[in-house]
Structure 1
Amino acid sequence: MKLTDALRRAAHLHPDAIATIGPGRRKTFRQLESRVSCLANALIGLGLANGDVVAIAAAHSDRVLETQYAIAWAGGIAAHADPRLAFDGLCALINDSQATILVLDDRYAAQSEALFDHCSYIRAMVFCGDGPCPDLAKVHDALIIAADPMRDRDIGGDATAALCYHRTDDGRWLGSQLSHHSLCFASLALAAAGSFSDAGIGLQAITATAAENLVFSGSLLLRGSAQVFVDPDHRLGTAISEHGATDLLLTAPTLQALLVEAANAAPLASVGQILIARSTLDLQFGPGLSGAAPALAARYPAARLMTAWGTPELCGIATLQPLPVSAAGAAVGQPIAYLELRVAADDGREASRGAFGELYARGPTTLRGYWQQPDASAVVRQQDWVACGVRAAVMADGGLLIDPAPLAIEAV
């Protein structure tokens, strides 16, 4: 399997259906596939070779989605940076990835020359924002218009598709290498476990992690659903109503903003599923979810309310559970399909039910290793098992309880 399979399938089955909705622009699945193939050819023209890295420093948008799939189409690797990173952190991440092309939007446009000077491997820049394009960059849409479509290079399977970075307590950057195989299986698992609407309309929070965005997008593509991308300043509840969204991916902060908007709003029956992504650092929000469930149910009476938890090592989404259940502190639910979890006690043996220990995972959705970090990779991946960097306990019902204090991953 490869990341582009879901896109090609959707373009074949639903060529004239709407695929993406951005600010003032709409694309069908046929147009999306064509634009991705042209952008892939343009990236190759900018010097992208098989296995090269393209850094993406931009808020999640329809153009970023095109870029993600174009990189995969061309056989490259996408390194995702949080668009809220400060300049020094962004440079450190890009240099660690050894990216040769940088994709940026309005957030970093004024710093493009400084980024070019401080990022050792960057040779070209692509601008996917809506404001003036920096002098050093090529315009995303202009590259697509000028390029011919090309055949998918068919790079997939265990080849790395994306690098999803997080920072350790000691200041190091660790890039989880997520393969085509792992991202595709995670998308399949999410689509199978959820109540996604066929030919629905999905809306994602731009503050979700890159892994969560990729998995959610893959699930929507498998369903032939459109994807809505709104401006960061756009009111989320208004966008849901305007576009008739059926499936939502939210984070704790965006959920809070939505609840404020929904306080005095009339019920909206179009939404069929709300998925709230919770990182380990978000688990302190757990008690607040008990109050969120009634408010969300009143505003979106037909919605299935779910929470998801995961780490970058596990494609961002490893467990799922209904929202009312997850109100109990750091309980995060049952593992998704294809994923097996175990908790190791201090002596290395499997811990008894309810006892805390180090969490390990096994399955196709786990990372390959950490980018350019063989020692850390040897620690995190031990044969078929991956250390998740957290302490947890498996409860009597098989559900997982997380200790919000993360474990440090140290090189041997």
Structure 2
Amino acid sequence: MNCIQLLERAAAQWPCRPAITDRDDTWTYAALTDRVARLAGGLRQLGVRPTDPVAVLAAQHRDTLVASLAVAWAGAELVPIDPRGSSDAAVAALRNTAAVGLVVDDANGGRIGELLDRCPYLRVLVHAGRDAAPAEAIPLTTLVTGHDPLPAPDAAEIHALGRFHTDGIGGRPRPVPLRHQDFVVAALSLLAEGGLPNTPILSTTEPLSNATVMTAAMAVMMRAGCLVMPEAGEWECAHGPAAVTDLLTTPAWLRAYPGQAADDAGHLPDRILLAGDLADDTLVGRTLAVLPGVSLRPLYGNAETAGFISLGPRLTAEPRESTTPVGGAAPHVDIRVRDQANLDCPSGQIGSILARGPGGADWLDTGDIGHFDDSGRLHLAGRAGDVLMRNDDPVYLRAIEMRLAMHSDVADAAVIAHRGGIRAWVVPAAGAGFDAESLRTFCCDGLPVSHHPNEIFPLPVLSRTAAGRIRKHLLRTGPASPDNEQAPPAGGEPS
């Protein structure tokens, strides 16, 4: 089954049920399918042909999903691009895939001129937003209202859904080809792992991996549920057709969440799936204090595995060790933990995490490290580059980040190995000051000597990927690195 067949099936079985909503409107499955088919007809009229790559450079909202489904309905290849990335990253993604079309929203419409200069082969430009469309682009609503529905493609003609980008090594985006079947199987796995109930009302937030959002959208269709896709800055539960049952978000969003939903108990979700980065103990405790009784579960994975590898057990406010349990392998993947000799590690031994998705026999090195426990449950210890050897003892930088995040003056933290030492950055909590010596003392009181940071610096915000992971290469070489400043910022001297 492909995503078009899945949408058609939902429209045939539940035509009047709400399928997708935002603050402006709610579309039923029948209305959503009609809109997708009409937009696909408009794309075809503009010259988009089967297998043509069409990029979507837009925040994740209702029209973004419609555009993505319409690209698939037209038989073309979807190329989602992180809208928070630089223009250089967007150009690299367009060039990597030789995209002939581009969909932009209000926030990214101003980039069209530059992208056309650098990618002159772009010939189909669509604007999906509320503001007036740029002169070079055609409004999405014009394509929908001005074209008849395109007949759904024959199933035998559909193979690849698209190419989904990861940050790759050093922040350079890398396209990952994924098939329709990969996402359908991943969505079934998510349901099999207890990820969503029957007829869920699932709200999303940003930032989120495009692969994760697509998997979740298909799972919602399978359950005859409704997807709530608000714009940034809006409380996701406020605009649904009824109380939201489930929230798909990241720890980065929860860190910034002020907790205003606690005043509206009817809109509190029953379950929260945490994708992207890992949640530290302090963040889990704060979230459970604001949302008492909510089921908080980590959704761990990569774009290459259609959005996720495992759905972890329910998190509690009890303190954890430096590793986080993220569950066993989901039904659509295999997981291995290998040592430096590429041999399977016994339970309890930390090694490199490898995964094999539904699309092939090749093993993916996830770039993460962790271990299995005796029950076969995977525990995550951090990124492979986040291990530093000091006096033959491994130092897990994730443990330092978790310790810093416990400080009441810290909203977020990142730690890297730097010239044989340990360098940390913290985002001060709202209204809090920055005292490097106090933070170092706090770390020293709670961690072994080998884990003591040499330097701590403040930052207003940490740059993260669409999956919510910290772009640590920017801390090493980018504007955030003190080595690139005229004078080092205040915040600590090497030990």
Q: How does the TM-score come out when normalised to structure 2?
A: 0.72
Match of 2:5 in 1: 5
Q: 1:159 to 1:325 in 2, by over 3 A?
A: farther
- Look up the equivalent residue of 1:273 and give its one-letter code: R
Match of 1:91 in 2: 91
Q: Decide which of 286, 309, 312 is 2:300's aligned counterpart.
A: 309
**C-alpha contact 2:19 2:26 (8 A) present in aligned 1:** yes
Task: Report the CA distance between 1:232 and its aligned residue.
Answer: 0.9
Secondary structure at the residue paired with 1:208?
coil
Which whole-Å CA distance do the structure 1 matches of 2:384 and 2:145 have between them? 46
Task: Report the CA distance between 1:259 and its aligned residue.
Answer: 5.4
Does 1:291 find its partner at 2:285?
Answer: yes
Match of 1:405 in 2: 383
Q: List per-residue Cα deviations over 1:27-75 (Å, max 9, x = no partner).
A: 1111111111111121122222221111100011111111111111111
**C-alpha contact 1:259 1:292 (8 A) present in aligned 2:** no
Task: Report the CA distance between 1:168 and its aligned residue.
Answer: 2.8
- Look up the equivalent residue of 1:36 and give its one-letter code: V
Q: 1:194 to 1:259 in 2, by over 3 A?
A: farther
Match of 1:267 in 2: 265
Q: List per-residue Cα deviations over 1:100-148 (Å, max 9, x = no partner).
A: 0000001111222222121243111000011110111011111011111
Which whole-Å CA distance do the structure 2 matches of 1:272 and 1:10 have between them? 24
Q: 1:21 to 1:332 in 2, by over 3 A?
A: same
Which whole-Å CA distance do the structure 2 matches of 1:171 and 1:400 have between them? 26
Match of 1:385 in 2: 363
Structural mapping, 1:115-264, within 5 Å: 115-155=115-155, 159-194=159-194, 196-236=196-236, 238-239=238-239, 243-258=242-257, 260-262=259-261
Which whole-Å CA distance do the structure 2 matches of 1:182 and 1:67 have between them? 20
Match of 1:334 in 2: 328
Match of 2:396 in 1: none
**C-alpha contact 2:305 2:356 (8 A) present in aligned 1:** no
Which whole-Å CA distance do the structure 1 matches of 2:40 and 2:369 have between them? 41
RCO higher in structure (CA 8 A, sep ≥6): 1
Task: Report the CA distance between 1:339 and its aligned residue.
Answer: 1.9
Greater shift after overlay, 200-209 or 330-339?
Answer: 330-339
Q: 1:198 to 1:401 in 2, by over 3 A?
A: closer
Give percent identity, aligned residues only. Answer: 26
- In structure 1, runs of 5+ residues without a counterpart are 369-382
Instruction: Point out the structure with max Rg over C-alpha.
Output: 2
Match of 2:314 in 1: 323
Q: 1:102 to 1:200 in 2, by over 3 A?
A: same
Match of 2:407 in 1: none
Q: 1:6 to 1:295 in 2, by over 3 A?
A: farther
Task: Report the CA distance between 1:317 and its aligned residue.
Answer: 1.2
Task: Report the CA distance between 1:239 and its aligned residue.
Answer: 4.5
**C-alpha contact 1:20 1:228 (8 A) present in aligned 2:** yes
- Look up the equivalent residue of 1:251 and give its one-letter code: T
Task: Report the CA distance between 1:159 and its aligned residue.
Answer: 2.4
Q: List per-residue Cα deviations over 1:172-207 (Å, max 9, x = no partner).
A: 321111111111111111122225343332111131
Which whole-Å CA distance do the structure 1 matches of 2:156 and 2:91 have between them? 28
Structural mapping, 1:48-67, within 5 Å: 48-67=48-67
Task: Report the CA distance between 1:344 and its aligned residue.
Answer: 1.9
Which whole-Å CA distance do the structure 1 matches of 2:73 and 2:44 have between them? 10
Which whole-Å CA distance do the structure 1 matches of 2:366 and 2:155 have between them? 27
Secondary structure at the residue paired with 1:110?
helix
**C-alpha contact 1:197 1:272 (8 A) present in aligned 2:** no
Which whole-Å CA distance do the structure 1 matches of 2:75 and 2:81 have between them? 20
Match of 1:375 in 2: none
**C-alpha contact 1:357 1:392 (8 A) present in aligned 2:** yes
Task: Report the CA distance between 1:77 and its aligned residue.
Answer: 1.2
Secondary structure at the residue paired with 1:126?
strand
Q: List per-residue Cα deviations over 1:189-234 (Å, max 9, x = no partner).
A: 1122225343332111131110110011111111111111212121
**C-alpha contact 2:305 2:333 (8 A) present in aligned 1:** no
- Look up the equivalent residue of 1:33 and give its one-letter code: T
Q: List per-residue Cα deviations over 1:340-393 (Å, max 9, x = no partner).
A: 2111222222221122222222341x5x6xxxxxxxxxxxxxx44333232332
- In structure 2, runs of 5+ residues without a counterpart are 387-495
Which whole-Å CA distance do the structure 2 matches of 1:141 and 1:177 have between them? 29
Give the count of matched residue pairs: 383
Which whole-Å CA distance do the structure 2 matches of 1:144 and 1:266 have between them? 36
Match of 1:345 in 2: 339
- Look up the equivalent residue of 2:273 and give its one-letter code: L
Q: 1:120 to 1:194 in 2, by over 3 A?
A: farther
Q: 1:323 to 1:27 in 2, by over 3 A?
A: same
Q: Decide which of 334, 350, 366 is 1:356's aligned counterpart.
A: 350
Match of 2:478 in 1: none
- Look up the equivalent residue of 2:379 and give its one-letter code: L
Q: What is the RMSD of the two structures over their aligned residues, measured on CA atoms?
A: 2.4
Task: Report the CA distance between 1:5 and its aligned residue.
Answer: 2.3
**C-alpha contact 2:243 2:269 (8 A) present in aligned 1:** yes
